[in-house]
């Protein structure tokens, strides 16, 4: 009898242990599927398993409320982790039974076995989603939200752009978009758009440093070579060569380029724009959609999808001497969408 009880006890322990392992596996091991709408995503530390883009889970303990999570859309396909496979970023909408609807950015990585969730990031409550884009591994989400202090009953009227990326298989928090006046890191062959009308490519890094066991008159340096494209539709180009010892800063064609550091494969540089080109031109309007020669130009506060396109556009004097948005292929395509 004692032996029988021991065997039963062992069986019970095995069952409990196996059940615990299954729970651990579901939470800690990313599920894979051929459909990114039917895998698990971590939302606020909880694994939410979608089935055909839909999931319903229990709300607070002891409450009859349910939390509904579903696929919203705005997907974008591109490689975000450098493995050559087409990953996907899209939006999820979550409702807990009240009046609020939370929107999340979700990312699924493509693998040889299907998709696996890379995480989610909260965007906001009852926002107005616009577009999702992926370029050079950076995920850009455009949407509209309310002004600070406005009630939730007000319509979203302020355009917002947030940037994200994937590191070590997981979606990380918002990253800073490249912009004039701030350090930008390059790797050889990588092109970075500071604005749709201004892009920089690190073409090569020349190494003239003195080699070991060689007597040199000069210690030499690393000299990054940058190709710059700018102007309407990238019509102007120039090559910038900087050095870690000499020519650490160059001013050319209204732009100042300052090298901060360099290795054999990467470089960090700051680009500053001559503000004379945009002197007398101002961005205004409720959603920053107006480019004019008037300071603090006002407009009504309804939000339109095309307003998100001006977040990265350039406001400056055009060939006719008037202030306007510089038309580029990227801006034209965005407005056309």
Output the pTM of the full model.
Answer: 0.53
Q: Which residues contact 154 (CB under 8 A, 6 or more apart)?
A: 146, 147
What is the radius of gyration, based on Cα positions, of the chain?
A: 26
pLDDT attached to residue 89: 95
Helices and strands in the chain, H and E counts:
2, 25
CB 94 within 8 A of CB 67: yes
All structural domains of the chain with their residue ranges: 30-171, 184-273, 277-336
pLDDT of 31: 46
- The model's pLDDT over 208-238, given as tens digits with 9 standing for 90+, comes to 988 888 888 888 899 999 999 877 556 678 9
- The token pair that represents 244 in the structure block: 């870690």
Inter-CA distances, 59 with 37, 53, 198, 315, Å: 22, 19, 48, 48
Residue whose entry in the numeric block shows the structure tokens 């390059």: 186
Give the span between the Cα atoms of 183 and 187, in whole angstroms: 13
- 162 and 138 in contact (C-beta within 8 Å)? no
String of DSSP letters for 140-167: EEEEEEPPTT--TTSPP-EEEEEEE-EE
pLDDT computed for residue 240 by the predictor: 94
CA distance 303 to 317: 25
- CB-CB neighbours of 68 under 10 Å: 14
Which regions of the chain are under pLDDT 50?
25-32
**Helix/strand/coil for 73:** strand
């Amino acid at each position: 009898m004692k032996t029988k009880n021991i065997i039963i006890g062992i069986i019970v322990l095995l069952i409990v242990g196996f059940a615990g392992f299954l729970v651990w596996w579901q939470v800690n091991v990313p599920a894979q599927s051929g459909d990114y709408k039917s895998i698990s995503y971590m939302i606020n530390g909880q694994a939410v398993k979608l089935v055909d883009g839909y999931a319903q889970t229990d709300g607070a303990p002891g409450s009859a409320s349910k939390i509904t999570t579903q696929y919203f859309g705005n997907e974008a396909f591109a490689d975000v982790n450098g493995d050559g496979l087409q990953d996907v970023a899209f939006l999820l909408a979550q409702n807990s039974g009240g009046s609020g609807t939370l929107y999340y950015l979700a990312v699924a990585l493509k693998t040889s076995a299907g998709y696996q969730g890379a995480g989610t990031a909260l965007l906001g409550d009852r926002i107005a989603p616009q577009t999702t884009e992926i370029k050079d591994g950076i995920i850009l989400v455009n949407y509209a939200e309310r002004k600070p202090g406005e009630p939730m009953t007000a319509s979203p009227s302020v355009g917002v752009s947030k940037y994200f990326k994937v590191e070590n298989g997981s979606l990380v928090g918002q990253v800073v978009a490249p912009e004039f006046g701030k350090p930008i890191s390059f790797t050889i062959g990588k092109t970075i758009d500071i604005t749709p009308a201004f892009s920089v490519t690190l073409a090569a890094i020349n190494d003239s440093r003195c080699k070991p066991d060689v007597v040199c008159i000069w210690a030499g340096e690393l000299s990054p070579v940058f190709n710059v494209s700018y102007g309407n539709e990238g019509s102007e180009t120039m090559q910038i060569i900087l050095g870690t010892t000499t020519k650490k800063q160059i001013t050319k064609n209204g732009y100042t380029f300052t090298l901060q550091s360099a290795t054999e494969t990467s470089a960090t540089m700051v680009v500053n724009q001559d503000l004379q080109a945009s002197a007398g031109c101002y961005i205004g309007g409720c959603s920053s959609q107006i480019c004019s020669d008037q300071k603090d130009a006002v407009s009504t506060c309804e939000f339109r999808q095309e307003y998100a396109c001006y977040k990265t556009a350039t406001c400056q004097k055009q060939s006719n001497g008037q202030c306007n948005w510089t038309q580029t292929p990227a801006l034209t395509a965005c407005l056309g969408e």
